[in-house]
Chains A and B, each alone.
Chain A
Amino acid sequence: MSLQDRLTELRDQGLADIKSADVLKKVNQVKVDLLGKKGPITEVLHGMRDLTPEERPKVGAYANEVRDKLQAAIDHRRDELEQAAVNKQLVAETLDVTLPGRQVPQGQPHVITQIITELEDLFIGMGYQIVDGDEVEEDYYNFERLNLPKDHPARDMQDTFYITKDVLLRTQTSADQPRSLENHDFSKGPLKVLSPGRVYRRDTDDATHSHQFHQIEGLVVDKHITMADLKGTLTLVANELFGDQFEVRLRPSYFPFTEPSVEADVTCFNCNGKGCAICKQTGWIEVLGAGMVHPHVLEMSGIDPEVYGGFAFGLGPDRFAMLKYGVDDIRNFYLNDVRFLSQFYKKG
């Protein structure tokens, strides 16, 4: 048998052995057996001494070709087996990815805070400052400076918790208005403030009344602030809270500290204005009160109403939350049932 034939035989046998090796160890054994220093290929190469000089390079080249082929087959087979082993392990490691992840305790902001924060951010974006007034206020600021002297019939609309004859729990965040007005330096630009906070009324708690609730008061005073500016601002608020697909209407109202005074209604989001239980069949939902700052209020704060004017608006986050989420009992906001609190997941 010629050396070539012997090499061919070794190649074919070797390839068959490699193919049939089913574990890495066997592949390695084939490699040692075939390509090792004492293996048959080496042996063939030793036999080349007996060949003619013409034949030697041919056989040598062929021997290298066979060896390379076998080496490649071994590498390939080894990869195959390694891959199979990895695949087997991966299969064994398969998890039920639908099992719940490990809990990381996570709290969330109160729904009222969510609404206040949303509006704060909206108004900060329009250059407003946020003002935190005191919750215990003087009658003078809460009422008198807002054009509500003692015995004014409009005081009936706000039954009040008094601490002394002259000190009370503020009934409205509007109580911040006079303080903001008197503290502001108009030489530094217009006054633009938003005052969110807790307010108190002497009410018996039930589904629609709470002795404690929240208000957000907005106030802008400058040399040229118009009712059209108020309308635009209120529309923005309504759109932010309820979406911009709804219409906003203003209608006359009365607040002693604004003139003209308006209330803003937004199309009922529940029935789209057709009339339903939420809007009491009117198609409209009352969302806030507003108006142009009354000249007396400006005068009492030492501001010339001939030069300066502005608007103010007030709204109730509790009421908004009730409308927006269909909360049917205002007490839910202050009982802090975790099953209630955890339902409102939004930005804080």
Chain B
Amino acid sequence: MRISYAWLRDYLKLDLPADELAEKIERTAVEVDGVIRPSEGLKKVVVGHVLECVPHPNSDHLHICQVDVGEADPIQIVCGAPNVAAGQMVIVALPNSWIGGHTKIKRSKMRGEVSNGMLCALDELGFDEKLVPKEVADGIFILPADATPGEPVFSYLGMDDEIIDMSVTPNRGDMLSMNGTAHELAAIYDQTPTMPKVDLTEDAADLADDDLNITVQADEQAVPQYKMRLIKHVTIKPSPLWLQIRIWNAGMRPINNVVDATNYILMQYGQPLHAFDFDQLDAGQVNVRFAKAGEQLTTLDGEERDLLATDLVICSNDKPICLAGTMGGLATEVTDQTTSIALESAIFDAVKIRKTAHNHNLHSEASMRYERGIDHGATEKALDAAAAMIAKLGNGTVTSGVVVGRDEDVKPVEVAITLTRINHVLGTDLSLDTVSDLFKRLDFPTTVTDDTFNVTVPSRRWDIHIPADLIEEVARLYGYDNLPSTLPTGQPTIGKLNETQQAIRDARKLMESAGLTQAISYSLTTDSKARAFALHASDVTTLDFPMSSERTTLRLSLIAGLLDDLAYNNARKEQDVALYEQGRVFFSQPEQVRPKEVEHLAGAITGSMVKTAWDTAATPVDFYQIKGIVAGYLKSLALVDPISYVATTAHAEMHPGRTADIYVGDQLVGFVGQIHPTTAKAYKIRETYAFELDLAALIALPKARQQYQPISKFPSITRDVAMLIDDTVTNADIVALIHDKGGAHLQDVHLFDLYNGKHVPEGKKSLAYTLTYQDQAATLVDEDVTKAFDKVLSALTEDLGAEIR
């Protein structure tokens, strides 16, 4: 809502700078987007009197004008506007002036003739084209004949005004009007506003009822009020300049005296009005109902619209002529030929209008106000004011009486609140008098009994109906700046992360110290990416009405998003990337409306984690690097059940020979491996290794109780074994066997060498382990260790076919 400061002064005595006023509005009522000064940046633009206007000898459309700009001699200006003529008062941009769009006007020559400036149209002064009246859109603007040559032009066009652009919140629909804003500012500045008076003269001999007949078929909730007046003998013409100024400064385009009058009253009262060409109505018959499927209406913008059963329509003899509260119909539009006006002032249900505006994508000044509510007490006042204005501007007569299709009994709302309650909620110590004064400033009639205020809220503040609403009025008028600043007291509470939250933070820290940087990717992705890398088979959760095909489905894994991130980096020549993500995946649940949201942890690495440096060669990442990161994290969890890595070919997007499922005991908790080269190619990434862990499952698994292990006082003995063994035998097989046969004192088995290069027969590999033996209670005897070790050696040979070297 754009509020003209000049217009505000009709209501209130205000002389503070507009910026201060704006700041006050912002701190007390609604947000202000800014103060608009239409003349800002314009310079040396003055009134000119065209003394002489002759055709340019070298042009078929230019004119050479001698223009009095208040100086001793007239100046010559060449003008191309078709409507320029001698005798006119015009807008002159003098040499070295600044006009709209930061344009500087200089003295120039046009086809051999000197031009000392320019005659201007409104859009050249920076007017939005949508606000320029259509009749002056194609030429220069003609100022009133009494304008004084040489004076700055701004005051003649309302451009010296300051316009406060308010962003009105949905609850403060009352401030979508000059009257409402004036009431608000009157409360803020403790003034009594001068409200507009309606000076309506009716033609007692001509009864509106005789010509106009209204039936409202729609229910009372949909249409609580519907009233009309009939104005006859109206001459349609452009509005006087003062009215046009108010209309364009409010951000609307002046159309003609009737439409402008309805828009003016709309701005003033916040009551949408609609003017019908009475003669286009069928025998003066008007009915209001819901549209029927299949009905059509051509609206003012020329669009033929298919009406919906939820649309309220105004009909004439049951034929739709207007989309209620949203937009009028073309057939009953006020035109230059119109002489009689059927003027509507009504209230329509907010929800119905909202639906219609939404369904037809028609958002108008009227629909916006209906959606936010209307003062039920001002419908008739606005109707009278508009009728009087139309009659005055169009030299018409208002017929006698209001034709009422529907009316309601509007009662003010009574709200009671105690002073104790106000101070209790605000944390203040306001006195009875202070609060009484605030209600008085709001012009809310109030009686006080003991501690209780009985407040009568006028219909113009329909947003207020419960005590909390009154507390807000008190708080904002008293001033939020004046509230004390404290912290909640009362029973102390313990703040701490729960186990899961702490475990998630720990996981993040560990990933970071392992060299992975946290990524946050999109949860929504394509259908195929959402399904990729899923740890468990699941259906996906899909948006009903996505914005783009890239974001349709909730992810089942984090890896897919990380691969997108890697691709983004790779495409920007960042080849070494190590990322992890901690977030939710969404497994759909049969018979459940919502998916199961599971916390996951995933990582993806590509390139090298350590770059080539003066002392280090870059080592490309590989399976064992990512497995080391996963193993380090799992170790930190101190899980009770053993962790195992089982080779798997089950994940279509993973390398079938380089991927392991990760189990804790019997439970699958994730997988780790290389991204399948084909998948990598599809994602446009290089060789990449990744893991996905079900973090929620890991957090829930039993953890080992931390217990101190005494450190043996007795020395340990080690034995190394090197063997040649079949490629198909895994490290896990060997380690398991060694542990199985190792005896009571075997403490550790450590793989220290793996070789399958030269001198190793085809199909074989060479492995070497260190076995550590230690006794907690005594010094080990060499022979005992040898005995135990020999058992291991023979088991390796016999059970696994190892050739001990």
Question: B701 CB to closest chain A CB, in angstroms?
Answer: 20
Inter-chain contact A226/B593, CB cutoff 8 Å: no
Contacting pair B490 A124 (CB below 8 A)? no
Whether, in the assembled complex, B498 has its beta carbon less than 8 Å from a beta carbon of chain A, the answer is: yes
- Interface residue tally on B, bucketed by range: 35 or more
A47 interface contact, C-beta 8 A: no
A273 contacts the other chain (CB 8 A):
no
- Which residues on the A side are within 8 Å of B520 (C-beta)? 110, 112-113, 333-334, 336
What is the distance, in angstroms, from A99's C-beta to the closest C-beta of chain B?
A: 6
- What is the bound-complex CA distance between A336 and B426, given in angstroms? 44
Given contacts A136-B594, A162-B543, A337-B572, contact A107 B493 (CB under 8 A): no
A231 lies within 8 A of B616 (CB): no
Kindly list chain B residues whose C-beta atoms are within 8 Å of the C-beta of A124.
495-497
> Which residues of B are found within 8 Å of A202, using beta-carbon distances?
547
The residue of chain A having its C-beta at the shortest distance from the C-beta of B481 within the complex is A249
CB distance from B47 to the nearest CB of A (A): 32
Q: Are A126 and B546 in contact (CB under 8 A)?
A: no
Task: Assess whether B614 is in contact with A337, with CB atoms less than 8 Å apart.
Answer: no
- B752 interfacial by beta-carbon distance below 8 Å: no
Q: Report whether B495 and A336 are in contact in the complex, using a CB–CB cutoff of 8 Å.
A: no
Docked complex: B464-503 residues within 8 A CB-CB of A: 466-469, 471-472, 475-476, 480-481, 483-498, 500-501
Taking a contact as CB atoms closer than 8 A, the residue among A198, A232, A261 that contacts B472 in the complex is A261
Select A233's contact among B424, B488, B551, beta carbons within 8 Å. Answer: B488
Contact across chains for A226 and B466 when beta carbons are under 8 A apart: no
Provide the B423-450 mask, 1 if CB < 8 A to any CB of A, else 0.
0111110000000000000000000000
A226 and B498 within 8 A (CB): no
List A residues 27-65 near B (Cβ within 8 Å): none
Interface string of A198-226 (1 = CB under 8 A from B): 10101110000001100000001011111
Nearest residue in A to B609 (C-beta to C-beta)?
A: A105
Contacts of B409 in A (CB 8 A): none
User: Complex formed: what's the CA distance from A100 to B616 in Å?
Assistant: 11
A79 within 8 A of B: no
Is residue A91 contacting chain B, with contact meaning CB distance below 8 A? no
Q: Does B45 sit at the interface, judged by CB under 8 A? A: no
Q: Which residues of B contact A134 (CB under 8 A)?
A: 594, 597
In this assembly, does A243 line the interface, its C-beta being within 8 Å of a C-beta of chain B?
no
Tell me which of A9-17, A66-74, A82-90, A252-260 binds B: A252-260
Number of interface residues of A (CB under 8 A): 92
A178 contacts chain B at the CB level, 8 A cutoff: no
Q: For A152, list chain B residues within 8 Å (CB).
A: 170
Give the Cβ gap from A328 to chain B, nearest Cβ, in Å: 18
Closest chain A CB from B300 CB (angstroms): 24
Contact present for A192 and B425 (CB under 8 Å): no
Known contacts: A107-B513, A249-B480. The answer to whether A130 contacts B351 by CB under 8 A is: no
A348: chain B residues at CB < 8 Å are: 508-509, 512, 518
- Interface flag for B610 (CB, 8 Å): yes
Decide: A338 near B542, CB < 8 A? Known: A190-B493, A228-B485, A259-B468. no
B518 touches A253 (CB 8 A): no
> Chain B contacts of A292 at CB under 8 A?
425, 468, 471
Chain A residues in 8 Å Cβ range of B569: 336-338
Compute how far the CA of A281 lies from the CA of B37 in the bound complex, rounded to whole angstroms: 15
Is B424 a contact of A126 with CB atoms below 8 Å?
Answer: no
- Rounded to whole angstroms, the CA-CA distance of A9 and B486 in the bound complex is 95
A143 on interface, CB distance cutoff 8 Å: no
Instruction: Mark contacts of A97-117 with chain B using CB atoms, 8 A cut-off: 1 yes-contact digit, 0 otherwise.
Output: 001101111111110110001
Q: Does A119 contact B (CB under 8 A)?
A: no
Q: A189-B491, A224-B490 known; A109 and B614 CB under 8 Å? A: no
Contact across chains for B593 and A167 when beta carbons are under 8 A apart: yes
C-alpha spacing A228/B423, complex, angstroms: 10
The answer, yes or no, to whether A163 is at the interface (CB within 8 Å) is: yes
B601 within 8 A of A: no
B539 contacts partner chain A, Cβ-Cβ < 8 Å = no
Q: Report the minimal beta-carbon distance from A21 to chain B, rounded to whole angstroms.
A: 42
Closest to B519 in A: A336
Enumerate chain B residues within 8 angstroms of A280, measured Cβ to Cβ: 34
> B515 CB to closest chain A CB, in angstroms?
3
Q: Does A113 contact B518, Cβ atoms closer than 8 Å?
A: yes
Q: Name the interface residues of A288-308: CB closer than 8 Å to any CB of B.
A: 292, 294-295
Q: Please give the distance in Å from B435's CB to the nearest CB on chain A.
A: 15
B493 & A127 in contact (Cβ 8 Å cutoff): yes
A136-B541, A153-B350, A341-B518 given; A254·B488 CB < 8 A: no
A residues 249-281 touching B (CB-CB < 8 Å) = 249-254, 259-263, 280-281
Some 5 contacts from A to B, beta carbons below 8 A apart, are A102-B616, A113-B518, A137-B594, A157-B170, A200-B523
Q: What residues of chain A have their CB less than 8 Å away from a CB belonging to chain B?
A: 99-100, 102-110, 112-113, 117, 120, 123-130, 132, 134-138, 151-154, 157, 161-164, 166-167, 169, 189-190, 192, 198, 200, 202-204, 211-212, 220, 222-229, 231-233, 235-236, 249-254, 259-263, 280-281, 292, 294-295, 309, 333-339, 341-342, 348
List of 6 A-B pairs having minimum Cβ-Cβ separation, nearest first: A105-B515, A228-B427, A226-B427, A260-B472, A254-B169, A250-B480
Contacts A130-B498, A169-B524, A190-B488 given; 6 further ones with Cβ under 8 A? A108-B517, A124-B496, A128-B493, A198-B583, A249-B480, A252-B476
Question: Which residues of B are in contact with A by a Cβ distance under 8 Å?
Answer: 26-31, 34, 169-172, 350-351, 354-355, 371-372, 424-428, 466-469, 471-472, 475-476, 480-481, 483-498, 500-501, 505, 508-509, 511-524, 541-548, 551, 554, 565, 568-569, 572, 574, 577-580, 583-584, 586, 593-595, 597, 609-611, 613-616
